[in-house]
Amino acid sequence: MKRFGIILFAGLWCALFAGLCCAQEAGDFQPATTNVWGAEYPRVDRTGRVQLRVKAPDATKVRVNFWSGPKVEMVKQADGFWTLTTPPLVPGLHYYNFVVDGADVSDTGSHAFFGGGKHASAVEVPEPGSTYYAIQDVPHGQVREIWYYSKVTGSWRHALVYLPPNYDTQTKMRYPVLYLQHGGGEDETGWIRQGRANFILDNLVAAGKCKPMIIVMAYGYARRAGQATPAVPGPPAGSPDRLKAMQEMTSAFEDDVTQALIPYIDKTFRTMPDRDHRAMAGLSMGGMQTFQITLNHLDLFSYIGGFSGAGGMLGDRKLDPKTDYHGAFADPAAFAKKVHLLWVGVGTVEPERMRAGIQRLHTSLLEAKIQHVFYESPGTDHEWQTWRRDLKDFAPRLFQ
């Protein structure tokens, strides 16, 4: 989800929209970078305002539904187009859809991004002065698709693999591996399509701030062979049944990663196949999965990162270092010898319950004298701008 930086409450938000959409100022609007080829709208100006347009001449009511804000009325023009100009939005990726006479409709001018359990339109609002996730004139790695068979799930499974620049030319070089997981409602394409992880790594490596590495982004949903597919949308968020379902899925995914995916990656690519050169991190649900998998398999991983989701299996309680995660935190000195980096991050304006849980984990780790990095992304919510910044801070700390 994405928040709007200058809006304090929904009534004011709607009032600002209503005033601005009638004016349609020329400004310096340019087609968004997230548009399909040749699409003039949506458009973004240097202040972060977004102009939207959809043709629906027979509609009686059209609204825009930005997922992080209220649905806002669009204004019908004489040519049958409905239009809207937003106030300045905070930088980052904003999911949205049109609501045409009650029906949710995608914007055909926008590329589709998989989020919230479906493909959705989105508009990228640039962050002034930030180039770390932009395409730059530096050597670029490649993103490849792989399919691997998992006996755990009894099925073929899909993943994306980022190979660093010069992987194909420096054929004697072997690389460390970061397993990087998406969040709930997303899939293995998220870190590339929305997160721009490949460009973040390209730029860090080119600047000498980061070791070249392979990144594996796997489909994070799993069920054991013979198990029924979980109900969608499933139990309510925060309920015991939801937590149980997540535990079962994470358990299946844990076995898939450790028994099928890692062996496939080490066999297929030129990896450094040992725990000192293997990391795992994830956002939201992926952060919860990361903690569960890595702390149960410290023989396989020595770098751990939780982006807005670390310790999710703890629910609303504090960490018990002696019992949680099979006592991985019980001995701080032993943990420090095994784990080269434990990294926990959160955005400063994430939902209170989520932020409180991660703060509670941070406090528990401090009390248990567990060495770790705690990072707060200023002014960002539970959103891709938080996780882009997380990766920018996390990746340079790996494999040093």
In a domain, 38, yes or no: yes
Q: How far apart are CA 189 and CA 181, in angstroms?
A: 10
Which pair of tokens denotes residue 242? Answer: 């939801």
The reply to whether 246 and 307 lie within a common domain is yes
372: in domain: yes
Average pLDDT over residues 248-252: 87
Q: 296 and 149: one domain?
A: yes
Q: Facing residues of 75 across strands?
A: 83
Of 73-82, 104-113, 184-193, 318-327, which range is least confident? Answer: 318-327
In this structure, is residue 133 part of a structural domain?
no
Q: Calculate what percentage of the chain has a pLDDT beyond 90.
A: 82
- Phi/psi of residue 87, nearest 5 degrees: -65, 170
Spatial distance between the Cα atoms of 3 and 369, rounded to a whole number of angstroms: 35
> Cα angle vertex 194, ends 188, 196, to 5°?
95
Q: What percent of the chain clears pLDDT 70, i.e. is strictly above it? A: 88
Q: pLDDT value at position 238?
A: 57
Total domain count, the chain: 2
Q: Last residue of a domain, which of 98, 125, 152?
A: 125
Look up the pTM and report it: 0.90
Lowest mean pLDDT among 9-18, 80-89, 193-202, 267-276: 9-18
Q: Which residue has the higher pLDDT, 75 or 230?
A: 75
Same domain, 180 and 104: no
Tell the burial category of 116 from Cβ atoms under 10 Å away from its Cβ (0-12, 13-18, 19+). Answer: middle
Neighbour tally for 19: CB within 10 Å: 11
Q: What range defines the domain where residue 377 resides?
A: 142-397
Residue 3 falls inside a structural domain: no
The answer to the question of residue 40 being in a domain is yes
pLDDT at 11 over 50: no
For residue 210, tell me if it sits in a domain. Answer: yes
55 and 24 belong to one structural domain: yes
pLDDT at 313: 62
CA distance 26 to 32: 15
Could you tell me the two tokens for 135? Answer: 């395409």
Domain harbouring 118, CATH code? 2.60.40.10
d(C-alpha 20, C-alpha 84), whole Å: 8
Q: Where are the beta strands (DSSP E) in the chain?
A: 30-31, 43-44, 50-55, 62-66, 71-73, 75-76, 81-85, 92-100, 103-105, 112-115, 118-125, 142-150, 155-163, 177-181, 214-218, 278-283, 303-307, 341-347, 373-377
Query: Do 368 and 222 share a domain, yes or no?
Result: yes
Give residue 239's pLDDT band: very low, low, confident or very high (50, 70, 90).
Answer: low
- Residue 131 within a domain: no
Give the pLDDT confidence score for residue 21 in this predicted structure: 42
Which pLDDT band holds residue 196 (cuts at 50, 70, 90)? very high
251 with 341, same domain: the answer is yes
Domain co-membership, 117 together with 147: no
Residues 19 and 162 in one domain: no
| Same domain (yes/no): 242, 314 | yes
Q: Are residues 199 and 173 in the same domain?
A: yes
* Domain annotation covers residue 161: yes
- CATH number of the CATH domain containing 297: 3.40.50.1820
- Asked if pLDDT for residue 8 goes beyond 50, the answer is no
pLDDT higher than threshold 90 for residue 312 = no
* Whether 224 and 309 share a structural domain: yes
* Residues 211 and 320 grouped into a single domain: yes
The span from the CA of 12 to the CA of 314, in Å, is 38
Q: What is the mean pLDDT of the chain?
A: 90
- Identify the pLDDT of residue 228: 74
